Amino acid sequence: MGRWEPDARGRLEQAALELYLERGFDNTTVAEIAERAGVTERTFFRHFADKREVLFSGSAPLKDAIVDAAVHAPAAASPMEAVTTGLEVAGAVIQQRGASVGKRQAVIAANPELQERELIKMASWAAALADGLRQRGVPDPAATLTAEAGIAAFRVAFTGWVQQPKRRNLPELIRESVEQLRAATAG
């Protein structure tokens, strides 16, 4: 392997997910991930701070995309509609990530500490979405409540989708989940 490593990052991600699934997250070392990806440990650390970041580095750009889409939703859109627009964008991006999404989810489901990290990640999405709504002039508590409700709907949709990703379109499931939430709270 020369100094030029085409898509080293992608291969590291792929190798890490495979190893986490085979041996468990806790039992996998950075050295093993690098070896399977055919790169040096140093290359690993050029891309990721640690082995947990392999699972969570995709979150920040996703959060930015959600908030950006929500903030720039049509001016006439209600707060819940703006949130839904943002979450649909996230759904489309996640869907494009393909099979690695299901693998990542299986790794997280097998590890309580990673589940906690995922929970904290979703809370940070909700906080960022609430900020986005405030930028649209939505006052609190409506901004916080709408963002939290939207994230709850997203999580339900995502959980259903990741089990059978081929069967349904994630953005559609997200919109459906928001409708179900509306019906549930109206009851």
Q: How far is the CB of 49 from its own copies (least distance, A)?
A: 17
DSSP 57: T
Strands (E), 34-149: none
Residue closer to its own copies by CB (options 9, 117) is 117
CA 139 to mean position of chain CA atoms:
27
Based on CB atoms, which residue is closest to its own copies, 17 or 143? 143
Min dist CB 40 to its own copies, Å, is: 33
Cα angle for residues 159, 162, 166 (degrees, 5° grid)? 140
Smaller CB separation from its own copies, 32 or 81 = 81
Binding footprint of its own copies on the chain (CB under 8 A): 78-81, 116, 119-120, 123, 140-142, 144-146, 148-149, 152-153, 155-156, 160, 177-178, 180-187
Q: Which is nearer to its own copies, 63 or 103 (CB)?
A: 63
Smallest gap from residue 99 Cβ to its own copies (A): 24
Long-range contacts of 34-41 (CB under 8 A, 24+ apart): 37/8, 37/11, 37/12, 38/1, 38/5, 38/11, 39/1, 39/5, 39/8, 39/11, 39/12
Give the shortest CB-48-to-its own copies separation in angstroms: 21
